[in-house]
A and B are shown apart, each in its own frame.
Chain A
Amino acid sequence: MQKRLSLIISLVIIFIFIPLTLYAGIVLFNDRKYYFISIMIIILASIPFFLSFERRKPQPREILIIAVMSAISVTGRALFVITPGFKPVAAIAAITGFSLGAEAGFLTGAISALVSNMFFGQGPWTPFQMFMWGMIGFIGGLLGRTGIMHKKIPLILFGIFAGILFSFGMDIWGTMSLYGVFSMEAYIVALTSAVPFTIVYAVSNVIFLLILARPIREKLERINNKYGTFQ
């Protein structure tokens, strides 16, 4: 019953509230309030993830492991504060996803973004960052189920993909804050001007994934064997 209720609420959000917000943006606000609407949609889109976690009543061990993984990625972001874009956050969210599933991956990514912005300053970019990093963790979780992420080549490809995904997502926000409206032309300009950043994201993801994926996976497995946390 618990599970079904959260599923219903999620479906209502995805199929009714988000289209309604889009409709309101186009009809009521004359297709001009992209900035506001986009932030609303990002917030709405994140709700189902948090809701299902909330309704599931997770055990303390799950909560603690997600908190630890987020704290590690925040510490990592703080360590690499001088190198813009070169951060281990996406990689750690993805690795958590590989080992512990899509939900844990999403939460690790989103909480890392929120917590690290508590240190570096919140802004209108926070919801976007939370969603993008969360999505990387989520996709990582889905791919982790197939078991191919133990190999090097899928890992490299995933790192590049995650860098591009993050850059594309954040550029939607960037375009809208620079031009107020979303135009394809402006988006392409933003994407091309962000190419160096995209490369840095992708390269840092690949490096961190290659270095960290195996040790962290082994450690999580060890914890799992020792205590039987995530079944």
Chain B
Amino acid sequence: MKSFETFHPLVIFAFFAAAIGLSMFFMHPAYLVITIFLAVSLNIALRRGQFFKDWKLYVPLFFLMAIINPLISHNGKLVLFYINYNAITVEAIVYGLSIATMIVSIILWFSCYNETITTDKFIYLFGKISPVFSLTLSISLRLVPRFQQQLHKISNAQKVIGMDYRSGSLLHRIKCTLRIISILITWALDNAIDTADSMKARGYGIGKRTSFSLFIFERRDGIVLLFIMFLLMVNIWASIIGTTTFYFYPTFSIIQWDLKNILFYCSYFLLLAIPIIIEIKGGIEWKLLKSKM
């Protein structure tokens, strides 16, 4: 049961744009902790088993990035030890860890994005801003599986006339593969002209293009979108007045824990937690409905 997916594409896109944009931006430790925590939670909520498979990729990446920075950067006041007269500092290590956290969270956000913004949603969104580009994109996207099918057909037909690309000497195989690709390209280009003429015959370019979609902007979409916008503004405000600024060099700046800052941290948490809150709400509703049955 994934409730966040059922929201209007605009809402989902706005959330990811805000989340990824802000995650790239904030290097403050408190913010980083919030980011990585919520990115991991959303990943578990949306991708379950898939996420635990990907861990093998993220952990080495994380440590690689964390190790490289202190070797490159020798700034900072708290020196741990020296390698070849180059200081290895606490600041550089922590900075490397922070960068690693940031990058891993962005990759995690993107894997959630890939899960929720399917291609039809993407084309629906960009069809309004850039109709020609998204038309090209959607034709191209559709052609890929078609070409794969056609490749299969062509290679079967070639096999019958003794041009099997899987048998014979290496030279023969290469020759057959090139033949198949050449046939595919000729076929594809000729076919493209047919499609284009058919589009023209049906009046492409005369009026405004209509497109089919099942997405309806409901009231709940409006509410969530307003919420995202409001929290985004609050966070931009926080970064303008300097709440999110944090210096690693020459030495760490102090993390503030007064009420104002805690409220800003909460607003960031709330913004990134929107899909998780929606998922949890959906889950509870589903359980309640089931228990009533």
Listed in ascending order, the chain A residues whose CB lies under 8 Å from chain B are 30, 32-33, 35-36, 39, 50, 53-54, 57-61, 63-68, 70-72, 74-75, 78, 107, 111, 114-115, 118-119, 121-124, 177-180, 183, 185-186, 189, 211-212, 215-216, 219-220, 223, 226-227, 229
Contact = CB atoms under 8 A, between A and B. Distances in A.
Contacts of A54: 130-133
14 contacts: A33-B25, A57-B132, A60-B196, A61-B196, A61-B197, A67-B139, A67-B140, A68-B143, A71-B140, A71-B144, A121-B111, A121-B114, A124-B107, A179-B69
Given A36-B24, A54-B132, A71-B188, 8 more contacts: A53-B133, A59-B200, A64-B199, A67-B192, A72-B185, A75-B148, A178-B103, A212-B181
A121 B130 CA distance: 22
A222 B213 CA distance: 38
Contacts of B7: none
Secondary structure call for the A interface: helix
Contacts of B199: 60, 64
A117 to B, nearest CB: 9
Contact of A179 (B73, B141, B186): B73
Contact of B27 (A32, A119, A211): A32
A63 B132 contact: yes
Interface string B173-185: 0000010011011
Nearest to B129: A54
A57 B68 contact: no
A119 B144 contact: yes
B66 to A, nearest CB: 10
A118 B122 CA distance: 10
Secondary structure call for the B interface: helix
A223 B185 CA distance: 11
Given A63-B196, A74-B140, A183-B72, A121 B110 contact: yes
A75 B147 contact: yes
Interface in B94-137: 95, 98-99, 102-103, 106-107, 110-111, 113-114, 119, 122, 130-133, 135-137
B89 to A, nearest CB: 15
B51 to A, nearest CB: 14
A64 B195 contact: yes
A64 B192 contact: yes
A122 B137 contact: no
A220 B185 CA distance: 9
Most buried by B among A78, A178, A212: A178
Interface string B17-49: 000110011010000000000000000000000
A183 to B, nearest CB: 7
A63 B139 contact: yes
Contact of A111 (B103, B137, B151, B196): B137
Contact of B65 (A61, A107, A178): A178
Given A111-B140, A118-B119, A121-B110, A35 B24 contact: yes
